Amino acid sequence: MAYGRQYGSGAVLLVDTYDPHEGIRRAVAAARRLAEEGQVVRGLRIDSGDLGALARRARDALDAAGLRSVQVVLSGGLDEKRIAELLAAGTPVDAFGVGTALGVAEDAPVLEAVYKLVAFDGRPVGKTSQGKASLPGPKQLWRRRDGTADVLGLAEEPGPGEIYEALLVTVMLEGRRTPAGLEDLAAARARFEAAWARLPEEVRAIADPATLPLRLAPGLARLVGLDPSLELDPQSALVVVDVQNDFADPRGSLFVPGGDEIVPLVNSLVDRAHQAGARVVYSQDWHPPVTPHFQTAGGPWPVHCVQGTWGAAFHPGLQVAGEVLQKGAGGEDGYSAFSMRDPASQRQVPTGLAERLRAAGVRHLVVCGLALDVCVRASALDALAEGFAVTVVAGACRAVGGKEATAATLAELQAAGAEVHPDPAAGPALEAS
């Protein structure tokens, strides 16, 4: 009572943690007596136990005592995930007290940071080690003003248009803050809240957030090998092979080293295909839980891309805007987007993609994806056998077997009649750091 009288409307009564039910009863009784004296406390805080159930008990007791203005405050080991769970459950709470999780990085106690050179003596450079590759040159990131997509480009190249805004702004120059760097805390908070509100709900999710589609601006795309000499037109089709979580995410069961690095390059190709009036087709491994394809049934591969699972889903950063061809759905064994082996007869059977593309007037296929030395290779060779002209975009592929497998596969595809873009004989497009 003395505490309540001392702090009045600023007082928050802490419920006894030894017996929280009795503690709530006593706290409400004290709050009612203080109210009768003209001192309405700010809130009642619960710090342990079943916070959701105790919050309901406290709210009911406060309301029954005529103390509807008194807030329910929850604390005790809270973080953003636990708060989200309480709110989703409809917990009657007015405020949260967060301590340890706010002051200490419990989920990531170590910050791993690496400095990577992007330019040297005026020349763009980048790391080329598979799985650790970096894009060359100083960069700018543009975001659509509706918060739905990003474009990454070179700092000196023009932006993608008025519907995008540049996110990187100089705040310090020659030891002095620029006008942009003079923004006060309230303005910075307002700017963040507005930008956050524009993002799609799935990107703002606390658990397993999605990522915005990212594509490369023309200048950066040219620097990594996606130059304008790559021809796409209404008689072309872009075939994106198996850019799925099990292959393109480091957590996947068959992660291809560097598989996640190709996503923005593939997105750039998808944009170029649509701009040129070309078709876009995505192949997707779609295996049943039991198939001769898997080691569990005598096959060569670990279980992967099982129908309806996270591993079978397309990488969340991939821009999917075209026909999706699911392969292996009936237990067939095969790698190509154009053919597969029937598990009963062992005969190669077509997927039907070649017939559909020919019927649409397509003559030229541009192929990219994962893995270069497995499914991309098989798809490109089958497409050549079907009579299509084939271009393999080397920069938008990664191989299971690393650099040696990449070189051998590209040489094999060239010998079979495919064009490799860019031509490996032309040498690297940038210097390695």
- Helix, strand, coil share (%) of the chain residues, nearest 5: 35, 20, 45
Tell me: cis bond preceding 422? Omega within 30 of 0 counts. Answer: yes
End-to-end Cα separation, the chain, in angstroms: 69
Cβ proximity of 278 and 389 under 8 Å: no
CA pair distance 10, 8, nearest whole angstrom: 5
66: three-class secondary structure by DSSP: coil
From the candidates 242, 246, 271, 373, which is the catalytic residue?
Answer: 242
- 375 catalytic per annotation: yes
Taking the C-alpha atoms of residue 358 and residue 367, their distance in angstroms, rounded to an integer, is 16
Query: What is d(CA 137, CA 124) in angstroms, rounded to the nearest whole number?
Result: 5
In the annotation, is 327 catalytic? yes
Residue 422 tokens, joined: 């860019």
Residue whose token pair is 């993609």: 353
With a CB cutoff of 8 Å and minimum separation 6, the contacts of 367 are 238, 239, 241, 376, 379, 380, 383, 390, 391, 392, 393
Whether the Cβ atoms of residue 44 and residue 15 lie closer than 8 Å to each other: yes
Residue 58 phi, psi (nearest 5): -65, -45
Catalytic residue among 260, 327, 333, 397: 327
The half-sphere exposure of 420 on its side-chain side, counting CA atoms within 13 A, is 23
Laid out side by side, the sheet with 164-166 consists of 164-166, 139-144, 150-154, 214-216
Spot the catalytic one: 285, 375, 382, 397. Answer: 375
- Is 271 part of the annotated catalytic residue set? no
Per DSSP bridges, beta strands 123-126 and 119-120 are antiparallel
Q: What is the DSSP letter of 364?
A: E
Distance CA 53, CA 93 (A): 11
Question: What does the alpha-carbon distance between residue 290 and residue 303 come to, in Å, rounded to a whole number?
Answer: 9
Whole-number Cα distances in Å, 159 to 11, 164, 165, 200, 354: 53, 7, 8, 22, 38
Residue positions annotated with a catalytic role = 242, 327, 375
